Structure formats: structure tokens, C-alpha cells
A and B are shown apart, each in its own frame.
Chain A
Amino acid sequence: MKAKETFIPKREEPEPTRPTAAASVVGLSKRFGKASILENISFDVAEGEVLVLLGASGSGKTTILRIIAGLEMPYTGKVILHGRDVTELPARERGVGVIFQSYALFPKMTVEKNIGYGLRIRKRKRKQIRETVNELLSLVQLEEHRKKYPSQLSGGQQQRVAIARTLAYKPEVLLFDEPFGALDTQTRVHLRREIRALLKKVNVPSIFITHDQEEALELGDRVAVLNVGHIEQIGTPFEIYNYPATEYVATFLGAANVLEAVVRGDFLEVGSARIPATLDQEKFREGDCVNIVFRPEDVSLSRGDLPRSTHPRLSSARIEEIAFVGAYERLRLRVDASDECKTDETPFYLTTETPDRKPTKSIIATRPKPEASSMRLHVGEKVSVALTSFTVLPQKGTKG
């Protein structure tokens, strides 16, 4: 089964069932003075779903979170929680749980006081508060720390207290603001697995924000990629990694190679190579310049001119650099590039173009360890390059 512009066998994935949206934002925008921070942001989070807002700093992800929490007002747009329009409500009436980056635990309250806070200010009965706090303490496995103060806990324990504190009042949605930002890499990986398991257990819809793509792919049922105030793509981790909708998404999520190509009938012309591709006639026209985007692990190398597989081939390439990066080998290769697409966006120094030579461009390929050791390659060697999968994207500036 082939998607129209993507050429990898699509894994059969069960469509995630989304009966009702637990939380949704519709057409959010935000301005500070004349600067536009957010433009027309819309998305839904289903019951029990984890949505990750992934973006670089300055992409506006924190602002979205604060608008949903009621800590900031949008310029236009609505926030809807379980069918209720809460845009005009103050933070305290929304029933949203926010886990701040710094956890924001109350320093003068013990762990159990922190967890019970939401119920105390709701004037619940003491017995009920005690029971809920006990339940949550065992859920986050902090029973023996109940009498401690936040400053006596580790970062991970503090975070669990912060989560329990919001779960106590049964929030409509949980919002996590870069929850692992302040932790070291090992703790971070450990904690995000723990939290994912916890969230699946309590089944509360959650929105995470992060700038870490690995975190986004691992935590999210779906991921929304943000770029300077708008959503570039929203989809399952599998979708956005394998079928990036834009070049930004492709390059932001892991490494990606971008080569220019020209549409020629049922083929794409990249320098001297022709790649078979059936394209959406609406989107791509004969003679259009397009970008071919592929990941380093989608590059298949073989020695000499013999193609190793039936995958579409680029021109043969010369190996410029080989590096061992732990689990795999990374190679830099120089392939022929197209010279018909002169876009102002490609700075001249990125392509080596001299009048007497064909234009070339370097791409990155990776090979897993077994392959690297069974077929040793050396710098300067000529190899043939095939692509096991790639995505075709319209170039910026051309109408799509």
C-alpha cells in the first residue's frame, strides 16, 4: 500500500479511536504588542490521550499551555474542556492540572499537605482528604515520604508529588510544562517511562510540551510540531517521523537529507539520476522543483555500480567522511545534485558549484553495526546510493 507522495510500505496501524475530545483549542492566536506569538492554533486531545507539543524555544508552545491553563488570555480563539467553553474562566475555575517545569511544590507544606491542598481549599471532609491522599501516595509510590518537605526529595520524587497534587482534584486535563527539563539524561529517560505508565493507568488526557524530539516520540500518542507560532504537522509519532509534511518537521525530528529534484513525468530528476515516483497531479506539475527528503537510515549503500536492491537509486557517490557513533556508522557522501532549481533560499556555499563541474551536494547516511562490519567502506571510495524510503515535498515559494 502506497501513500501518494511517500514511498515506503505503510505499516498497518490501527486508527486511534477518538470518540469525544476531552480538550480542544480552536483558532487560538496571541499577540504581544505587534508581534504575533501564535497563529490559528487548533487541536483536540481525546479522553486518555497524550498529546505532545514539540517545538524549539520561541515556538509558542509554553504560551499555548498557559492559555489552556487560564494563566494567559488568547487574542482570538477558544479553549474547550469536555464540551465546556472555558476561555473566559479564570485559572481556578477550569479544573486543569499544571505540572510546572520547576514543579512549584509549596515549600512550607509536607508531601501529604501538598497533595491534599486542592481538596482542602475545596473544603472537603477530612476523612475524604485523608483517603484520597493515601490512595495517591501509593499510586506515585511515595508513602514513606509523606511527612517530608519538598526540599528533602529528589527531582523525580518532587515531580511525582506535583502530579499527585493535581490528580487529587480530578483535573479535566493535565498540562506538563517541560517536565524533564531540569533533570539529567538518565533520570529523564527513566522518569518519562514511569510517567507514561502512570498516565495510562489514570487515563487523564494530557498535553506535554517539550523541545526534545526523542521525548516527544516516546511520550506522545500524537505529536504536534510547532514552528514560530503555528502547527506544522500533527500526527502519531510514526506518521510525523516517517511522513513529515514539511521540511521543518523532517529536519526538526531527527536528521534528514534534503535534495532538490525536478518533476519529469513519472520520474523525479536529481542530477543525472531518475527516480520513479507517482505524484499527486494536483500538487506537483511537470517541470516543478521539489524537495526529496530522506533520513540517513533510509540510505542504502553498495559497492561499485551494482545496485544492491530494487530501491530507487541516486547517482553514485564518493565517501567523504566516516565516523563511528556508537550504535551505528555515519558516512558523509557527495552525490550529484540538480542545477535547474535555483532558489534563493539555498546559500551558494552549501552546494559546490563551479562552472566546469557538475553541481554536487553532500548527504548523510548511517549504517547499523553489522552492515558496517560486513561491508567495510573507506573514505574516497565510490559507492552506489539507493533510497529505501523518501518523501517528496513542494519547495517553499512554489505554490502547493
Chain B
Amino acid sequence: MSSVAPAMRHVRGFDVARPLSIGVLVFLMLPLVFLPLASIFIFGTSNGLDKFWAALTAPEAIFALKLSMATSFWATVFNVIFGLFAAYVLSRYNFWGRNALIVTISLPTAIPTAVAGFALLLLWGPYGTLGRLLTPHGFQIMFTAGAIILANIFVTFPLAFGVIKPVFDTMSHSLEEASATIGATRWQTFWHVTLPSLRGAIVSGALLTFARAVGEFGSTILVSGNLAGRTQTAPLYIFAKFNEGQIEAANAIAIVLALFSFLIFSVLFFARDWLDVD
């Protein structure tokens, strides 16, 4: 009985922990992420590509996709410009209540989207605080595409701001001072010096906002009225078709949305270098 075990054989450069941990990671992600995503594609195309194509090109489906893109686009435009402005003000000036404003801007990330939609209804709806006064004059923004944009703006409010503000914070103040001493106006400085340094942050902030807005469901279903062909966005269409039992129709749109987010995040990931450097 030997108490001294022979030393474990050592294969040069081979670390067991490496393949093992990678394997565990992939295995854990399998039921959580990969399989759900894969099943969309497997199911969607199981009845043949003709059926898939027919489901995709149904007028209501096309409309829902277009509406989603359009409302998300305008919400993104607004939130990027607003986020840029807010980041500039909150990073350049110190004033009473500054931190309160920063927290308020960031709040929508923490609020359940259904609550956000409900809040908008309580403000603008026919019986809402403002809506009650405006409705008699023929102004009702709820249950229109405008309401969807409002909801999108609300839930994606902090995203672009959150990406742009840290870049502003770390940007050296002396660049802007140098530009001023060289003779540039504030606007010239912003346009030629500040903005180019923010390009990466602006593009990634915009992509994040857009991706998030396209997928928005909770608030949209409350404020839009979910009228097919009028105020029904792509996620609402999926939900409606699923409820009606038209799984193929729902699935076709789901595939498009999944591919779309995949595309956006690939751009964000692989274009990172391009976004930062010229």
C-alpha cells in the first residue's frame, strides 16, 4: 500500500478547467437562451417556406412591422437629441437639484412598462389630468401612433442619456477651452470638437434605444388601443395572433424581430472599434 500517489500526468499547455468551464457555460445557456430562439426558427419554417412567406406578407403583419419601425424611429430621434442635451447640461453645470434630475431621467428603466403605459393614460387619456381638458377640443393623442411614440420615449428615456453622459463626464474640459482660445464660438466648439468625440456614444445610444423601442409591449398595449391595421405594433401583433390561435402568423413576425435585434447587437459589438476611432 503506497501512500504516495504518482504525480498526475501533466500534458504541457493543457488546462482541464478551460474546456470544462466553456462546456458548462454553453450547456447552461442552452435551455435558457439558445433553444427558445432556435424553436422560433424551427417552428416558423416547419410548415414550409410558402406558408411562412404568406404569414409575413399579410397586410396587417406588414403594417405592424412598419408601424413599429416608424414609431421607434421617432422615439429614437427624440431621445438621442434629448439625451445629448441632458447629458451636456448635467455634466457641464453644477446646480441645485442636479442629482435629483439625473435620478429622474434614469427612473423609467426601473418602472414596469405597464405602469408607464398606465401613467400616460392617466395623463392624456379621455379622463386623464390633461386629457380631460384637451379631449373636448378634439385633441386626443391616446390610441394613436402618437401615443405609441410617447410610450416609446418614456420607456427608452434613459438609454441614450446613459451612454452619452459618461463620455461627457470623462471628456477633458481643456479640449473645449482650447477651442475657445483658438477663437471658436460655443456652437463651433460643440460641432467640431465635442460632437466628434461623442459619435460612438451617439450611434450606440441610438441603436440601443431603437432596439428597445421596437420590442416594447407593456406600455404600448395600454396606450395604443391595439387596433389591427391602425395602432397595432409588431409585438402586439404577435400577442394578438397568438391569442387567436394563429401561431404561424405570430411566429413569422417573431422571427423578423429576433433577427432584427440580433443584427443591431452585432453592429454594436463588431463596430465598436469603428465607432470609437475614425
Contact = CB atoms under 8 A, between A and B. Distances in A.
Interface in A58-117: 69-71, 90-98, 100-102, 104, 106-109, 117
How many B residues touch the partner, as a band? 10 to 19
Nearest to A93: B183
A169 interface: yes
B197 A118 contact: no
B278 to A, nearest CB: 6
Contact of A96 (B172, B181, B197): B181
A122 interface: yes
Contacts of A97: 181-182
How many A residues touch the partner, as a band? 20 to 34
B278 A71 contact: no
B197 A98 contact: no
Given A104-B174, A149-B278, A94 B197 contact: no
Nearest to B183: A92
B129 interface: no
Contact of B178 (A98, A108, A149): A98
B58 interface: no
Given A91-B177, A102-B172, A107 B197 contact: yes
Interface stretch (B64-72, B87-95, B184-192): B184-192
Interface secondary structure of A, over-half rule: loop
Q: Which of A104, A149, A165 has the most CB of B within 10 A?
A: A104
A122 B178 CA distance: 15
A118 B189 CA distance: 11
A71 B182 contact: no
B251 to A, nearest CB: 45
Contacts of B130: none
A386 B199 CA distance: 69
A164 to B, nearest CB: 12
Contacts of A149: 278
Contacts of B175: 104, 106-107
Contacts of A108: 196-197, 199, 278
B177 A71 contact: yes
Q: Which of A70, A117, A120 has the most CB of B within 10 A?
A: A117
Given A104-B178, A108-B278, A122 B183 contact: yes
A121 B183 contact: yes
A166 interface: yes
Nearest to A108: B196
A104 B172 CA distance: 8
Interface of B: 172, 174-175, 177-185, 188, 192-193, 196-197, 199, 278
3 tightest Cβ-Cβ pairs between the two chains A and B: A104-B178, A108-B196, A104-B174
26 contacts: A69-B177, A92-B182, A92-B183, A96-B181, A98-B177, A98-B181, A100-B178, A101-B174, A102-B174, A104-B174, A106-B175, A106-B178, A106-B192, A106-B196, A108-B197, A108-B278, A117-B182, A117-B184, A118-B183, A120-B192, A121-B182, A121-B183, A121-B184, A121-B192, A166-B181, A169-B183
